[in-house]
Each structure stands twice: as structure tokens, then as C-alpha cells.
Structure 1
Amino acid sequence: MSDPKIIVALDYSDAQLALELVARLEPTLCRLKVGIELFTTAKSRLIEQLMQRGFEVFLDLKFHDIPNTTAQACKAAAELGVWMVNVHALGGRKMMEAAREAMSLYTQSPKLIAVTLLTSMAQEDLTDLGIEATPADMVLRLARLARDSGLDGVVCSAREAALLRQHCGRKFCLVTPGIRSADAVADDQSRIMTPRAALNQGADYLVIGRPITRAVDPLQALQSFVKQIAEVE
């Protein structure tokens, strides 16, 4: 069974626009990420439509609540048949363990990963929260907590991948956004990395949005990224 390394981010507010883009992609080459905005407007019906077209789905809703509520939300995601779902590591050990236990009830449970710190958070944001650690220290601490709570991996910056790979082991799944081709415009992300560099740093899966979704030929753009990945492997 193939294991596509690219996760295309469907950053749309309208299900029809998302489906029009998806119709131009190939499920053997990528998976799809559905986030809060799109899921809120399109609901679970969109997930069903994407899977009917042969795509595996990363449901990126970042659950963060009391343990029981988070566990029930994860069960609902598992019932949808998604490939991956995430929670906020800042919800703590009990919450993540409850989510992991909920997933264990399913023979084919989704991969369960955690968000450590949002990429928008800087040192001053942590200070506002009364956290004295640096962002890098917090990311590592939360990633270890996620691992020790039984989760499969974390979302992280490609620039943090090598550090987390060193401390969390080879089997710990690292999902990295902010991926661009070497000659691409950075858009609004200042900390970007090429597929080759991200994989060499230890990333397992690469989340790519606009370089594919806004391309004149999305399939050709996807195929170009797949080729860059093949050169690493």
C-alpha cells in the first residue's frame, strides 16, 4: 500500500471550491487536510465525499477540552473513518491519554497527533501566559509529553524536526507545514523549507497548501513535489 508523504491543505471556506480542486488531484499521490473553517461550513458530508474519491483525510480540528469531551470528539472523528486527527498538547497528559484510549477502541483507528505550539506564537506570547520557557523548549517538552501519553506524533515546524527526531525516536510521526519548492514565493510564511530539506531533517509528512491549490495546474504542481520527494528517498 502506498504511503503518500504530501498532505494537501484544503484551505477553503466553500466545499464546492474544495471539491473542484480535489477533482484535479490524484489520491495515490497525496492525502488531504480539512481544517476548522472548511469543516465548520461543509460538515462531515465533505469528509465522506473526499473519501469516496479515494483520498485519506487528516481532520485538523485541534481538539482541546476536558478529557472526556476530547475523547468523545476523537471517537466521532474515528467514526468518520479519517486517516489522522489532532489535539492540542497543551490540553495535558490526562486529555491526551483519554483521546488515545478512545482511539484504541477501533481496529483501524486514525493516527492521533498533537499540536505543540501554534507557529504564530512567539516568546512574548508565552510570557503573556506566564510561561518562561523558550518556544523551542516548549515544543520539545510538549512533544515528549505527547509521546509519553501514547500519541503517534506531532505537528511541528520543519526546523524543529531534527530536534524532535533526536529526542522522540524514529517511530514518532512528524507532520510539517510551511513547505515550498526552492524557487517559490514565501507568501506570508517566513519560516519555510523545501521538501528535500524537511525530509532530511526528519519529517514524515509534508503539509502543502497554496503552492498546489493556487497553481495553474494543481496536478502538475503536486507531481513536481512528488518528484522532489522521490529524489530524497
Structure 2
Amino acid sequence: MIADTDMRDRLIVGLDLPDVAAAEAAVRELDGVATFYKIGYRLAFAGGLDFARDLVADGKKVFLDMKLLDIDNTVAEGVESIVKMGVTMLTLHAYPKAMRAAVAAAKGSDLCLLAVTVLTSMDEQDLVDAGYEYDPHTLVLMRAEQARLCGMGGIVCSASEAAAVRRIVGPDMAVVTPGIRPAGAAMGDQKRVMTPGDAIRAGSSHLVVARPIVAAPDRRAAAQAIIAEMQAAA
């Protein structure tokens, strides 16, 4: 998953926008700069699933960030439907039974299944509050190993854990890192963040960047600056 040398294919722009019209405007503005887009809950539930199909039809790559988790049969059926959409990546929570069901359902397709380890908005106290006995780093590495054994296509983790995850999953699995913030950018609700260049050097295959691009006064310039930093770090 890291064979792409064109950093435009390794930057995933998060379309964390309120509706399809706003997302369409962002994609138009980024035409020729960005090729890969993330659609999460906010946009998905505002017509974004049909928009995802439109992006695929237009030759764009789509990262569908649904973080699936349910009983095995329901996960499998959901994945079977998503395979038909033609998207490039899909997230699910890194629970072994759910991962095994998803891998079986996606077998023979080009869909890259990504295991979400620990959300980048969570720190150690957040995990304690949620009932976990592990710190974020330990839990991320445990789930990365489970994802590898289940046959997943990649991992979603903080860039601060990318180097350790890369050592576990090897060179071929995707390591997708949200929580990317260019130097001087506001952290927002993220707690475990890293700059684009540092994330590439740490072993990230793909960077997910939303607000620093879509909320920028000049989206094209913001995306181009991030791509240039990624290229310089490769």
C-alpha cells in the first residue's frame, strides 16, 4: 500500500463538511492537487454515500471512514455492500471477530480494510475512563498485531505510533495516520498529533488531513504545502 510515489495519492483530504454541496466545492477547488478523499459520519449521513459513488465514477479514490463494529454477520453484509461501491479504503474497529468477518467478506476485491486501533483524540485517561487497562501505545500495538494476523489491509493509528506499528505489520500493510497538523496549526480535538513530514519519516503510508485544508482560506495552497512537506520527507 505504500508503492505510490506521488504524494497526492498518499494525502487523504478529510471532507468533514456539513453537506454535499460544500464537499463538491472543496473537491472542485482541490482539482489537480488532491486525488484521495475521506468521507466520515457527518457527510455520509448528509448524502455523502451517493457522493462517494460520484467521486469513484470520476476517478477519485475514497476512504470511507465508517468504523464498523457489530456482530459478525452484520459486519460481513455491510462490507459486501461497500465493496460494490468501489471505494478504496474502509475502516472498522480492531476487534478480532469483526476483522475476520470483514476480511472474509472483502476477499477477492480491491477494498483495503483498515483497523482503527485507538482514536487520536484519546489519551491514557480517556482509555481508563472507557474501562481499558492498557495505555494507548500498548493497545495500539496489540491491535496492530491482531489486525495483521486477521489479514487486514492496514492500520489506523496516531503518527506517533507509526514507527512501532510499521515494525509489527511490515512494509506492505497501509499505516494511515489522522491527527496530522502542519507546524503552527491548531490541534482542535486531537491529542496525539504530528507534522506531515515527521509522519512520513515515521513510516506512515497515508496521511489524513481535514481542517488544516478544508478550513483554510486557500485550500489549494494548504494542500500543496502539505504535499511538498511530504515529498521532502520521503
Calculate the TM-score normalised by the size of structure 2: 0.90
CA shift digits 1:56-94 (9 cap, x unpaired): 1000000000111101111111100001001101xx322
**Is contact 2:178-2:207 (8 Å) kept?**
yes
Identity, % of aligned pairs?
Answer: 38
Higher relative contact order (CA 8 A, sep 6+): 2
> Equivalent residue for 1:102?
105
Distance 1:127 1:227 in 2: 39
Query: Residues of 1 paired with 2:92 and 2:192: CA distance?
Result: 23
Residue 68 of structure 2 corresponds to residue 63 of structure 1: yes
The secondary structure found in structure 2 opposite 1:12 is: coil
- 1:133 maps to 2:138: no
Query: What is the one-letter code of the residue matched to 1:62?
Result: K
Residue 36 (structure 2) pairs with residue 31 (structure 1):
yes
Aligned residue pairs: how many? 229
* 1:178 Cα offset (Å): 1.5
| 1:141-156 matched pairs, under 5 angstroms | 141-156=142-157
Note the alpha carbon deviations across 1:38-58, whole angstroms, 9 max, x for none: 111114211122223331100
Shift of 1:36: 1.1
Residue by residue over 1:131-189, the C-alpha shift from the partner in whole angstroms, topping out at 9 and shown as x without a partner, is 32222111111111011000011110000101111222122211011112223333343
Trace 1:12-91 onto structure 2 (pairs within 5 A). 12-26=17-31, 29-89=34-94
Structure 1 residues without counterparts, runs of 5 or longer: none
Between the aligned partners of 2:123 and 2:184, the Cα distance in structure 1 is 27
The two structures have a TM-score, normalised by structure 1, of 0.91
Q: CA deviation at 1:221?
A: 1.5
Quote the Cα distance in structure 1 between the aligned partners of 2:32 and 2:99: 30
d(CA) in 2 for partners of 1:11 and 1:60? 11
Are the counterparts in 1 of residues 40 and 65 from structure 2 also a CA contact under 8 Å? yes
